[in-house]
Structure 1
């Protein structure tokens, strides 16, 4: 129970830090001089370097071993670019195109995409719970993006497309590093993935060229995103998987849209109507539906216990 408690606390802290990052990013994007590309370069580069320095100096672990394994190196780059960097970039541009609450809820569709990809890869039909979860997600997304006017999008087509790409990258971020985490410390994987992503975005938009106009609020916002929204959120949530199952961590991940939505309403005066709230709750409920053991798995557990 003590280990589960530690895991739950880590997952909740990580989810809340990521969720609050949304309203902070939305606040920054109100100033046209801040762009998602600039923010990506600086936050991933600084966060990655600090994580690796911490791993090397405080934890006293090797951070270069993975670079000598060609097979693992290729997977690291895939995770860094298609998973870690992609989910952060699409999150920021979806926030910019809509709002923090909507972006974070659309990100939750990643769980459904994992169900669909798993079914396609392993050639088996979804279970009853998975089918129900997919149905709830589709209805919830429809309500969220139409605000109850079921035949007209309430958000732009661009925002919806970016939100779906965000969900896909979130699914890849969960699936790609599984084998790497069995062989390397989570800090090494996340640290190098951050550095790789930071280098790529710094090439696309060097953060030292034409930087935005810095104000006290802007500096504090960027600092929060770098340290809490990026470093703390990823380290805490990924570390929680050592103590609790992915299912439990996924349920606690619902603190992300909760904190993002509350922050948007409280500090940015973002409004959500009834159908949007219902849609968001339906999408979030899919995590709990998927957590319910299926009849087959329950029977299998009972048979194992009898043996």
Structure 2
């Protein structure tokens, strides 16, 4: 019975992580469309999407879920970790992802973010003295090979993206690892919605100060409104709620591995929305990255 319960928990965690990854991945091509055709800046979009998401999540938590939303601020010993998660994890991922999309494209941004999986395994080994098993190590190696094919488009000695885009992408991977690992203990003490809601609102306030949303407002066409609405409610709010909830059922390493669905959904979204084409090396790279999910699943089954 206990094994069955554990399996059910892993399944729930896996579904939540994959759903969050897909919603986040689709956000990429939608953001790329807004940057290219509507002259939006990442900073303007950050203030809007994080601020609205944070407010909606906290209102939902307080009035629908009937959960206290101020408990987090009443326990100062948790505020340091929370601040680090909000700024260097969640807000950094949100911003660096948009910057990388703006400097390259949605597919490249999500693939570079998936390198956070490698960093999670490394950090787990360093801080928790927990070396990756053979399945995790194999999955990381395969993910790296697939990522390299995607980033180089098959020209293995030459990157197919600019240096600023690669730098932003690597910082994005680091922020992704921080975002995955830091809130684990917070989630044992506070509601998921409370942690995510306040972190979103903090990020929204920071970026509203950096670039007030009432300054240099882009032309609000129907496409702009729908695009921003999708990014706020699905690509931001729902994706992070799903992802952070998954950490209650699966480890950060597993959650990071399942993030490989992001490049797949971003690539499909780019093909559908932006008519983006990909060569054979990029397709093989995408398949390799996606295959890490099945390698990990095989390892869990055997364990």
Distance 1:288 1:114 in 2: 18
**Equivalent position of 1:90 in the other structure:** 96
One of 110, 115, 121 as aligned partner of 2:121:
115
Q: Is the Cα contact below 8 Å between 2:121 and 2:253 reproduced in 1?
A: no
TM superposition shift of 1:227 = 0.8
1:164 pairs with 2:164 = no
2:70 to 64, 69, 82: 64
Distance across 2 between alignment mates of 1:110 and 1:213:
35
For 2:168 and 2:267, how far apart are their aligned partners in 1? 18
Counterparts of 1:61 and 1:199 in 2: how far apart (Å)? 23
Q: CA deviation at 1:120?
A: 2.7
Counterparts of 2:15 and 2:293, CA distance in 1: 18
**Cα separation, 1, equivalents of 2:148 and 2:13:** 33
- Asked whether 1:269 is paired with 2:275, we answer yes
Report the equivalent of 1:192.
Answer: 198
Q: 1:117 to 1:13 in 2, by over 3 A?
A: closer
Equivalent residue for 2:135? 129
Q: Which runs of 5+ in 1 are unaligned?
A: 299-307
Number of equivalent positions: 297
Structure-2 residue corresponding to 1:149: 155
CA distance in 2 between counterparts of 1:20 and 1:121 reads 33
Match of 2:219 among 213, 217, 228: 213
Structure-2 change in CA distance of 1:137 and 1:16 (3 Å): closer
- Describe the SS at the equivalent of 1:37: helix
- Match of 1:177, SS state, is helix
Is 1:49 aligned with 2:59?
Answer: no
Deviation for aligned residue 1:184:
0.2
Q: Deviations over 1:2-33 (max 9, x none)?
A: 95565554444322221211111010000363
Secondary structure of the structure 2 residue equivalent to 1:182: helix
Mark the CA change 1:226 to 1:291 in structure 2 (over 3 Å): closer, same or farther: same
Please tell me whether residue 16 in structure 1 is matched to residue 31 in structure 2: no
| Counterpart Cα distance in 2 of 1:32 and 1:271 | 22
Question: Residues of 2 paired with 1:245 and 1:117: CA distance?
Answer: 13
Matching of residues 154-303 of structure 1 within 5 Å: 154-243=160-249, 249-250=255-256, 252-293=258-299, 298=303
Q: Distance in 1 between matches of 2:49 and 2:213?
A: 10
Rate the CA distance shift 1:6–1:125 in 2: closer, same or farther, 3 A.
closer
Structure 2 distance, partners of 1:245, 1:172, is: 14
172-181 vs 17-26, which deviates more?
Answer: 17-26
For structure 1, which segment, 45-54 or 16-25, has the greater mean C-alpha deviation from structure 2 after superposition?
16-25
Query: Secondary structure of the residue that 2:189 maps to in structure 1?
Result: coil
Structure with higher Rg: it is: 1
**Partner SS state of residue 271, structure 1:** coil
Give the gaps of 5 or more residues in structure 2. none
* Greater CA drift, 255-264 or 195-204: 255-264
In the superposition, the TM-score normalised over structure 2's length comes to: 0.89
Tell me the distance in 2 between the aligned counterparts of 1:197 and 1:259.
Answer: 25
**Matched residue of 1:270: which SS?**
coil
Give 1:98 deviation, angstroms: 1.3
CA RMSD of aligned residues (A): 2.5
